[in-house]
Amino acid sequence: MMLTCDLCAFADCVSPSQMSAAAVKTGAARPQKYLVIGDIHGCVDEFKALIAKAGLPDMTSPAARAACDIDWTVVHVGDLLGKGPASAQVVQYCIDINAIGVAGNHDNQAVLCASVMALPQYLEAVKEVTPFWDEEKRPLSHRLPYAGVGFYQAGTETEHSKIAKSLTKPQFVYLLRLPLFLQFPSSNPDVADVVVVHAGVKPPFDASSAEGLWKQLPDWSVNMRNLCSDGSVSNAANADAAPPPPPQAGSGSGSGSGSGSGSRSDAKPVVSAWAKVYSEAVAASRASAVSAAAGDAKQAAPTAQIEQKQAKFIIFGHDAVRGLQRYEWALGLDTGCCYGKLLSGVVLPERAVIQVAAAREYSKPNIKLDGAAHKPLQTVASASAAEPATKK
């Protein structure tokens, strides 16, 4: 089930051939750096501007890349498509610069439309990519368009169906090959603990094996935003929205006469950013591991075992409401570029956050954006912070 390549350590990832194309080799070892970029959403000009601001060479030129004293790779968190003005151009630019990344829910939706419409260029792309999927043993649920909950009625015209019609076969090939998770090379200790996913993960998250990865539902990878105190996952864009509590047998009008457990039928679970919950869980497990090392092994053994699997610093997007999220063990990069806000990225291994302002508002948000989390940083900032950028 495992496939090992330069930038990943599990089957649900890009192929060795795609990875070898992602970096230009000059014979002499050069420092490796990565620019991980948040949700681009068709904003191709801002995409290029952020790459330039980070100081990368002309990534479309093999000669310029070879002449650079740093071996750069551009990585994206998914949602290349939708809302912005140039979805197909963004995909093409990713191809031109050998960018790697993960699939987002909007990417999945466009592929779903192409599948329902049976577009010839899409069907040809599927034929080309299927051997790749089979070679790495990628489950059907981890292949687009089956990675997220989506719906498209044949014969209707939607934003995503229009985008699908505009995509070429090579662009579909690129999208279909995108994994749901991307793990950085274990050979580079400066980034070995970094994992990229579009939306989120539900703790406990074990990226040490393919088996641990499969425990994460694909829908979480491309859609989730919140974790609830009852253990459920919420995809709600409104950070304060909570799913309704499950009905309780015998609860009647709320008197709670059923089990006598003291639970209230009208109580709503507390909703938190999944990244906050995850980061706190990792921090707690590490603290417990320290306790184990200090001699309190009986109390700390379970979490010490988690620590041995290596905690992961997760970079993600998808949550434009919360904007830039900086936690000790997670970094959210969706800062609403398509809504006229910012396109954000992080340079690795330094974990320095950089941003460019959107040229204009391309799409009218139907969600309330937190102004504080969408204001440009005054200086280049660390990706990790003792206190997160948002408290939701």
- The whole-number pLDDT of residue 296 equals 54
Domain-located, residue 58: yes
We report the CATH number of the domain holding residue 339 as 3.60.21.10
- According to DSSP, the residues that pair with 62 across neighbouring strands are none
Q: How many CB atoms are closer than 10 A to CB 266?
A: 11
Residues 304-317, mean pLDDT to the nearest whole number: 69
pLDDT tens per residue across span 95-123:
999 999 999 999 999 999 999 999 999 99
Domain count across the chain: 1
- The whole-number pLDDT of residue 331 equals 96
Residues 293-317, mean pLDDT to the nearest whole number: 60
- The whole-number pLDDT of residue 186 equals 81
Classify the C-alpha dihedral 191-137-201-285 as positive or negative.
negative
Domain-located, residue 299: no
Q: One-letter amino acid identity for 238? A: N
- The whole-number pLDDT of residue 116 equals 93
Residues 358-386, mean pLDDT to the nearest whole number: 74
Q: How does DSSP assign 357-382, residue by residue?
A: E-SS--S--SS---GGGGSPPSS-EE
User: What is the span of the domain harbouring residue 325?
Assistant: 31-104+178-222+315-382
Question: CA dihedral in degrees (124, 125, 126, 128; nearest 10)?
Answer: 90
Cα separation of 72 and 56, whole Å? Answer: 7
For residue 370, pLDDT beyond 90 = no
DSSP label at residue 5: B
pTM: 0.81
Q: What share of the chain has pLDDT > 90, as a percent?
A: 50
pLDDT tens per residue across span 48-101:
999 999 999 999 999 999 999 999 999 999 999 999 999 999 999 999 999 999
State the Cα angle at 363 between 357 and 367, rounded to 5°: 95
Domain-located, residue 37: yes
In the chain, % helix, strand, coil (3-state, to 5) comes to 35, 15, 55
Domain-located, residue 43: yes
Domain-located, residue 247: no
